[in-house]
């Protein structure tokens, strides 16, 4: 049985569980607060902190894991490979300074700059690449306060909307990396399990693909089908179904991009379509 390390709490945990459940892999716990669960027939889930997952996968304690690509980069272990971008937990690792600082770009920072961060490895490598020797001030959270306390000149921290930085009187001067949740694996430990991994990634990918799509159904007049074809390209053209006892009308079914639904409905209504129905898709395997 392959072991997969999942985040036990924090920003990534709920989305990770939701993804597995939608893919048909619901964890079965033996007891409340258990840290181990069965995940289908082939996998065992262990629940640990997102920060620890790259290390566990590198050491082979788990063959697979779900964690942020920022944490994979920080751990910097060559044994860990990223198998799939899961699309949630998007954020950026940025360099920020006090609002009143005159610095506008990280390359302007002088040698000896004090950097408060919980990503010391990435920060060191980043400033090394700029040719700047920094002094890391390690913190495990709330780095935003450090420049105001005078213990650091800049911070290297995660942001998604930027509002925490703003509220704390800081401004971004550069992005080091963009992060999102990844399925990661230990290539050596996975040798011989290629079929299980392909099945898992196919199942997860089918959920991720489906999230970007909607299933749309509409009754349209038969004599508008040429225009319908242009509005509803579908995966291989819309499916057209007869409507019982209706000569002039047919039902058109198609998979459409989620962000095109609004526009598509408007165009179908212009054609006189009726009974328009839009539903989510759980899994999509083209
Ligand atoms: P946790 O500390 O368990 O909540 O997980 C933190 C991880 O969640 C980070 O390392 C990122 O991979 C991810 N994440 C996604 N968005 C954000 C954000 N806005 N701030 C911090 N972490 C985020």
Residue listed under structure tokens 């639904």: 261
Number of the ligand 1 atom closest to the C-alpha atom of 67 = 12
Q: What is the pLDDT of residue 163?
A: 95
CATH architecture of the domain covering 213-280: 2-Layer Sandwich (3.30)
Q: DSSP assignment, residue 123?
A: H
What pLDDT is stored for residue 182 in this prediction?
Answer: 98
Ligand 1 centroid to Cα of residue 93, in Å, is: 10
**pLDDT at res. 30:** 86
Fold annotation for 2-87+180-210: D-Maltodextrin-Binding Protein; domain 2 (3.40.190)
Pairing type for strands 213-221 and 274-280 reads: antiparallel
Pocket residues: Cβ below 6 A from ligand 1: 7, 10-12, 50, 68, 70-71, 89, 91, 158-160, 179
Ligand 1 center to 224 CA (angstroms): 49
Residue 100 is classified by DSSP as T
Q: Whose Cα sits closest to atom 11 in ligand 1?
A: 68
The pLDDT of residue 234 is 66
Task: Tell me the pairing of strands 80-85 and 135-138.
Answer: unpaired
User: Domain residues of the chain, as ranges?
Assistant: 2-87+180-210, 91-179, 213-280
Q: Which atom of ligand 1 is nearest to the CA of 160?
A: 19
Q: CB-based contacts of 113: which residues, under 8 Å, 6+ apart?
A: 127, 132, 134, 135, 153, 154
Q: What integer pLDDT is reported at residue 235 of this predicted model?
A: 67
Name residues of the chain where pLDDT drops below 50.
Answer: none
Q: For residue 279, what is the DSSP state?
A: E
3-class SS at 59? Answer: helix
Question: Distances from the Cα of 23 to the Cαs of 82, 205, 208, in angstroms?
Answer: 19, 9, 9
Cα 137 to Cα 121, 126, 128, 214: the distances in Å are 12, 15, 16, 48
Query: How many residues are listed for the chain in this entry?
Result: 286
- Count CB-CB contacts under 10 A for residue 236: 9
Pick the CATH number of 91-179 from 3.80.30.20, 3.30.300.30, 3.40.50.300, 3.40.190.10: 3.40.190.10
Topology alike, domains 2-87+180-210 and 91-179: yes
Closest CA to 92 of 19, 178, 166, 153: 178
Residue nearest to atom 1 of ligand 1 (CA): 10
**Helix boundaries (H) for 9-118:** 13-22, 53-59, 69-75
> How far is ligand 1, taken at its centre, from the CA of residue 94, in Å?
13
pTM for the model stands at: 0.91
Q: What tokens appear for 114 in the block?
A: 């004090």
Per residue in 168-214, pLDDT (tens digit) is 999 999 999 999 999 999 989 888 888 899 999 999 999 999 999 99
Collapse the DSSP code of 277 into the 3-class scheme (helix H, G, I; strand E, B; otherwise coil) and give the result: strand
Among protein residues, the one with the nearest Cα to ligand 1's atom 8 is 11
Interval between CA 183 and ligand 1 midpoint (Å):
15
- Residues 75-84 as b or e (16 or more Cβ within 10 Å = b): beeebbeebb
């Amino acid at each position: 049985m392959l072991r997969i390390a999942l985040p036990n709490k924090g920003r990534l945990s709920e989305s990770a569980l939701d993804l597995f459940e939608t893919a048909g892999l619901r964890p079965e716990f033996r007891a409340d607060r258990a840290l181990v669960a069965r995940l289908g027939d082939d996998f065992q889930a262990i629940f640990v902190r997102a920060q620890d997952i790259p290390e566990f996968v590198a050491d082979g304690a788990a063959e697979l894991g779900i964690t942020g690509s920022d944490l994979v980069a920080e751990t910097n272990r060559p044994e860990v490979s990223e198998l799939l971008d899961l699309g949630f937990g998007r954020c950026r690792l940025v360099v920020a300074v006090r609002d009143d600082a005159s610095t506008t770009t990280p390359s302007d920072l002088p040698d000896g700059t004090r950097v408060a961060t919980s990503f010391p490895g990435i920060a060191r490598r980043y400033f090394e690449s700029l040719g700047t020797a920094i002094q890391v001030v390690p913190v495990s959270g709330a780095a935003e306060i450090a420049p105001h306390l005078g213990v650091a000149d800049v911070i290297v921290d995660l942001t998604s909307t930027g509002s925490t930085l703003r509220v704390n009187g800081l401004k971004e001067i550069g992005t080091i990396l963009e992060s999102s949740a990844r399925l990661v694996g230990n290539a050596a430990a996975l040798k011989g399990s290629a079929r299980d991994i392909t099945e898992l990634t196919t199942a997860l990918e089918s959920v991720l693909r489906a999230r970007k799509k909607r299933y749309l159904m509409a009754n349209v007049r038969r004599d508008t089908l040429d225009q319908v074809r242009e509005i509803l390209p579908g995966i291989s053209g819309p499916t057209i179904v007869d409507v019982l006892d209706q000569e002039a009308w047919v039902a058109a079914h198609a998979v459409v991009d989620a962000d095109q639904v609004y526009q598509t409905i408007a165009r179908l209504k212009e054609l006189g379509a009726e009974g328009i129905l839009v539903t989510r898709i759980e899994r999509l395997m083209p």
